[in-house]
Amino acid sequence: MATVYYRHICNVRERNQLIAERKILSVNNASGYETWYTPTRYDDPFLAQRELALPSPLVPEYRVGPVPEAAMPPLTTGPRRVAPAFGHPGGGIEIATNSPVWLFGLWSFTNDAYDASV
């Protein structure tokens, strides 16, 4: 089975960028726009927060993907296991790139459906 990746989004600016520009790219210029993905499809946003060690109160509101490995730009990091951080145990798998990935679909955890605005 081919590897696929998911992006979990906590930032409304990144969501708006997805809708307006149809690309996945971190909006954090302090990190050089490095964008993190995981091969794990989390259906529970709180489990994603724990295993990806996302800082509180950053609970993902959206999941993007699956993105086929062949559609990913060159990686800057990983794959590697997520270290504990921000009071969360980590343990998930992560990769990163600082290049955009073009959008296929945007899953809303709140609506339990794909976002129709995309």
Provide the whole-model pTM. Answer: 0.84
Q: Helix, strand, coil % (nearest 5) of the chain?
A: 20, 30, 50
How many other C-beta atoms lie within 10 A of the C-beta of residue 113?
9
Cα distance between residue 36 and residue 56, in whole Å: 17
Domain that holds residue 37: 4-114
The pLDDT averaged over each successive group of 10 residues in the chain (118 residues) is 91 86 85 93 96 91 92 95 96 96 77 69
Contact yes or no for 65/24 (Cβ under 8 A) = no
Domain count, the chain: 1
